[in-house]
Amino acid sequence: MGLDTYAISTATRKPLPETLFAHIPAVLAGGIFSGNGSSPSFRGKVYANFIETVTGVHLYQEEIPHDQVVRMAESLQNWIHNNPDLVQSQWEITETEIRALAEWFAVVAGEPDAVVAGWW
């Protein structure tokens, strides 16, 4: 089963602006709102196992509340801090992707009305 993971505003029910993600390297597998470069979405299926292992949260949800997104962002940053060599071979994703995921979640966590949504 496929999964697209995207960040939306609860006020507008629309994707967050791409400009919020402009500083993140465009390395994440593309999702439904992916444009050229930075995006408010990524292909969640590719990263679901890694994210669940690190954060304890399963991406296959219609919506992940903001407070949980904040905890996920913190968990990802802590994991990077505690694993400086970023040995990630069991997930088959790159160090750059791991850092981009952490930053993506940090951006969403920094927007008070933002949540992470899933579509599959």
pLDDT, tens digit (0-9, with 9 covering 90-100), for 25-78: 888 987 555 554 456 889 899 999 999 999 999 999 999 999 999 999 999 999
pLDDT bin (cut points 50, 70, 90) of residue 13 is: very high
Helix (H) / strand (E) containing 55: helix 44-55
Q: Please give the tally of structural domains in the chain.
A: 1
pLDDT at 101 over 70: yes
- Structural domain of 55: 4-119
Contact residues for 66 (Cβ-Cβ < 8 A; gap 6+)? 10, 109, 112, 113, 114, 115
pLDDT, tens digit (0-9, with 9 covering 90-100), for 16-35: 998 999 999 888 987 555 55
**CA-to-CA distance for 71 and 51, rounded, in angstroms?**
12
